[in-house]
Structure formats: structure tokens, C-alpha cells
Amino acid sequence: MSQLSPRMVALGTARSEIREAFAFAQARAAEVGPENVDDFSIGNPSVPAPPQVATLIRALTREIGPVRLHGYTPAQGDPQARRALADDLNARFGTDYDPDCLYLTVGAAAALCCALSAMGCPGDEFITFAPYFPEYKVFAESAGGTLITVPANIEDFQPDMEALRAAITPRTKAVLINTPNNPTGVVYSEATLRALGEVLTEGSRAYGHPIYLISDEPYREIVYTGAPLPWVPDYYPDTLVCYSYSKSLSLPGQRIGYVLVPRTVTDFDLVYAAVCGAGRALGYVCAPALFQLVVAQCGGLTSDLSVYRTNRDLLLDSLRSMGYTCAQADGAFYLFPRTPEPDARAFCERARKYDLVLVPGDSFGCPGHVRVSYCVPTEQIRRALPKFRALAAEYGLGK
Ligand code: PLP
């Protein structure tokens, strides 16, 4: 047998539980009809991209011509596109970013890989809070580090600062956060971000090097609080932001996002150079050219996100009234209720008897919970409610 990387073979062979659940739902839909299967496994936006995206593609094709439009851009992205994105951020957050603070990438996944690889040295630790997006472990290890997880605060899923303090060591290179959060739907409060900035400032001082904060924000625009999301770099100067248009513009397949390195970051020039170097080393140069130009002209635009709010209200209220315990989820398109038995995998197996497809919290480093991904037609939620109710009754919930 040829000599292959055992790690890569393992990563390519072991399917994630999310993918496995999705595949199960697809197989059941082929067997019993899609109208009988309620799949809440995956975070694929259920609303189309705004019509302006198609209009922009037509206009750009006409105006620029296919050769330039589909040609290579500089490795870090088209300068005019980066200018437009920096201007948009500045208008929204009162910042003064310039094009050379941005590195365009194929989605948030590549942005995270670039940010982590830019700073990862052998033996480094990256800290995140459970529950967390499972790929963080893969990305952190690819960057040469280890992912350290701080246990979940299951009351409201706001990160526990004392637990973070205890987890920081001389080897801590960065802390990775995600708000609004996948899988909980929780939006980190301003108090949380302020406290986080304080703990990281203390830790950086204590160990004599910056502990970076990496803020993963693909759900930034999907918030139901009515108030704009706090801008994370305002709370800690050593913050890098990883963003994606996958969810806000419903463009997950187009693979477009960025890393933002604000000039407040310690050793800015070196950090930005390292992000560019990581992009080069990973082969993530020149993000999809057409979509660089499209998103550059989409400042302030999102898909019609209103259905997610309708779904959140309907599902959260209904689950709670059935007796499920679920933290307030004011963003993204996920709920993370507690399972009525400690074994979330067993609960998901029971749910499958109703063709109700959920993902166990174990996948996200938080057993005893289940992720319900509600980026689905509202009709699917209505149809699934009796199934959730029947499951609740099996456990005697709500009595
Ligand atoms: N980070 C989080 C928290 C996500 O939920 C996702 C995708 O679901 C990603 C990163 C990756 O996003 P992208 O599709 O833009 O690579």
C-alpha cells in the first residue's frame, strides 16, 4: 500500500456526525418521500441569495468582460474589492480599516485556517468554548497546535471567564470565539466581550506575548435582538475577524469570505504578512474572482433573513411549551436544547424513528444536548412539531 498521511486518510474517511445525519435524511427521503422526513441536520441557508446578486453577475460580465472577470486577482484579493469591503466595515462600525487589512478567502473555513496557520507554532494551544464548530479541532491541528476546550456553561452558553482564566497557559496562542454561535444560536453579550477582553489582556501581560482573539462571524447579520451586534475588535485590540458571505447572502457554494487584521493588532505588519503566507502555504490564494467583485458591491445587503426569525420563534416557543429546556437563542439558525436523557446519541436514535433528524451535541463537544438547525421552510417546522411532542411524551416531559 502506498504511504499516505494517516491523519489525512483518517480525516477523509471518518464522516462527521452532521454529514452522517444529513446522508441518513437523504436516504430516508428517497425511501419514504421527502415530505415524511424532517431533516434539521445541516446549516445550508434555506432562502435564496438576494436578486441583486444575479443582476450584479450579469452587469459585471457585460462591463468587465470574461477574461478579466474570471482571471487571477492578487493573492490577497482584488484591491478595489478590498477597498469597498473596508469602506463598508468602516461605515458600519466606525473603524478606519484599509484594503491592506483584508485577505479574501474561500469562505470562513479558509479564513480560519489562514488565521490559525499564520500564528500556529508546534506546541501552541488554541482555546475555544464548548460547544463549538467541530472543524475548529481539524483547523487548529492543521495549524500545528492543539485545540483546548473550555467546558460549556449550559445555563445560557455565555462563555465562563473563570474557566477561561484557568485554561490559559504560557502556550496559549489564541482564543477562538463564534458569535452568533453555531450550535447554540446564542449571541455573546457586551458584558461577555468586555470580560473576555480583560481576561485576554491579563493573560497577555502575564505571559509577555499577545494572546490573539479570533472572532469567527459567519452569522454576524443573523441576529434577532433588534440591536446591532457588538463589534468584537472594539473590546480587544488583538482581534482577527474571520467572515463569510455563506449565510448572510446565502452563498455557501461560492466560497467567499475574508480575514480582517485590524491595525491595532500587535505587530500588525508581521501578522498580516503571516496571514498572506498562510494563504500561500495552504494554496488559498486569489479567492473566487467573480464573487470578490460581487460581494464588494453588496455592502449592507443580505438575503431575506426574516424566515429564520419566524422559525426561531415558532420552534423555540413550541419546544419550551413541550417541556424541553432550551437557552435563549438570539442569532444564527440553530437551537441547542437539552436532551431529556443524558445520552444525546440515544435521543437522536429515538428521533429517527419519527424520521426526525437531529445532530447530537457530542459532535460539538457538549453531550446532553442536540442541535436543531432551523434553516428550513417554516412548513417543515409545523410538520415536525407533533414529532417533537411525541418524543417529549416518551420521556414524560411537560407533565
Ligand atoms: N464557522 C462556523 C461557526 C460555521 O458554522 C461555518 C459553516 O457552517 C463555518 C465557520 C464555515 O463557513 P464557510 O462555509 O464560509 O466556510
pLDDT at residue 1 tops 70? no
Residue 279, classified by CB atoms within 10 Å of its CB into exposed (0-12), middle (13-18) or buried (19+), is buried
Q: Is the pLDDT of residue 317 over 70?
A: yes
Judge contact between 364 and 355, C-beta under 8 A: no
DSSP string covering 326-379: -----BTTEE-PBPSSS-HHHHHHHHHTTTEE-EEGGGGT-TTBEEEE--S-HH
- Ligand 1 atom with the smallest distance to the CA of 332 is 5
Mapping DSSP to helix (H, G, I), strand (E, B) and coil, where does residue 150 land?
strand
Mutating to test ligand 1, I would choose from 136, 137, 182, 363 the residue with most ligand atoms within 8 A of its C-beta, which is: 182
182 CB under 6 A from ligand 1?
yes
Asked whether 363 and 220 are in contact (CB, 8 A), the reply is no
Q: What does the pLDDT read at residue 337? A: 98
Per cent of the chain over pLDDT 90 is 96
Torsional sign, CA 331, 332, 333, 338: negative
Q: In this predicted structure, what is the pLDDT of residue 2?
A: 75
Q: How far is the CA of 399 from the centre of ligand 1 (A)?
A: 38
Contacts of 343 (CB under 8 A, 6+ apart): 367
Nearest CA to ligand 1 atom 12: 108
Q: Is 178 in the pocket of ligand 1 (CB under 6 A)?
A: yes
Least confident span in 7-16, 107-116, 263-272, 341-350? 7-16
Phi first, then psi: what are they for 338, rounded to 5°? -70, 145
359 sits in which H/E element: strand 359-360
* pLDDT of the residue at 372: 98
The strand pairing partners of 105, in sequence order, are: 257
Is the pLDDT confidence value at 296 over 90?
yes
**Cα 133 to middle of ligand 1, angstroms:** 8
What are the start and end residues of each CATH 3.90.1150.10 domain in the chain? 6-50+303-394
Residues of the chain with CATH 3.40.640.10: 71-296
Residue 14 has pLDDT above 90, yes or no: no
**Across residues 30-52, what is the average pLDDT?**
96
Q: In the chain, what is the greatest distance between 2 CA atoms, to the nearest angstrom?
A: 66
Ligand 1 centroid distance, CA of 94 (Å): 26
- Contacts of residue 310, Cβ cutoff 8 Å, sequence gap at least 6: 378
Q: What is the pLDDT of residues 332-373, one digit of tens each?
A: 999 999 999 999 999 999 999 999 999 999 999 999 999 999
* Beta carbon of 181 within 6 Å of any ligand 1 atom: no
pLDDT value of residue 398: 78
**Cβ of 43 below 6 Å from ligand 1:** yes
CB 194 within 8 A of CB 213: no
Report pTM. 0.97
The CATH label, of 3.30.70.20, 3.40.50.720, 3.90.1150.10, 3.40.630.90, for the domain at 6-50+303-394 is: 3.90.1150.10
Nearest ligand 1 atom to the CA of 244 is: 15
Strands 257-260 and 239-244: antiparallel
Instruction: State the Cα torsion 330-134-102-333 to the nearest 10°.
Output: -20
- 59 contacts: CB under 8 Å, gap ≥ 6: none
The answer to whether the Cα torsion of 248, 249, 251, 255 is positive or negative is: negative
Q: Whose CA is nearest to atom 5 of ligand 1?
A: 182
Q: What is the pLDDT of residue 15?
A: 81
Q: Is residue 269 over pLDDT 60?
A: yes
> Cα separation of 132 and 148, whole Å?
11
Average pLDDT, integer, range 215-222 = 97
360 in ligand 1 pocket by Cβ < 6 Å? no
CA atoms of 239 and 220, how far apart (whole Å): 15
Q: Taking the alpha carbons of 264, 266, 267, 270 in that order, is the dihedral positive or negative?
A: negative
pLDDT, one tens digit per residue, over 86-130 is 999 999 999 999 999 999 999 999 999 999 999 999 999 999 999
Could you tell me what percent of the chain has a pLDDT over 70? 100
DSSP string of 166-212? HH--TTEEEEEEESS-TTT-PPPPHHHHHHHHHHHHHHHHHHTS--E
Report the alpha-carbon distance of residue 293 to residue 104 in Å, rounded: 11
Task: Tell me the pLDDT of the chain averaged across its residues.
Answer: 96
Fold classification of 71-296 (topology level):
Aspartate Aminotransferase; domain 2 (3.40.640)
